[in-house]
Amino acid sequence: MNTPVVVNEEEFEIAVEVIENEEGWEVDENAIIDPDGNIAVTTSEQGQGLVEWLALSGVIAFGVLVVFQIFGPAFIAAFNTYITDVLP
Instruction: Return the bridge partners of 40, or none.
Output: 5, 32
> Is the separation of the CB atoms in 30 and 19 below 8 Å?
no
| pLDDT computed for residue 64 by the predictor | 96
Confidence of residue 70 (pLDDT cuts 50, 70, 90): very high
Cβ neighbours of 8 (radius 10 Å):
11
For 12-28, how does the pLDDT look when each residue is reduced to its tens digit (9 = 90+)?
A: 777 777 777 777 777 76
Domain edges within the chain: 5-42, 47-88
Confidence of residue 51 (pLDDT cuts 50, 70, 90): confident
pTM of this prediction exceeds 0.75: no
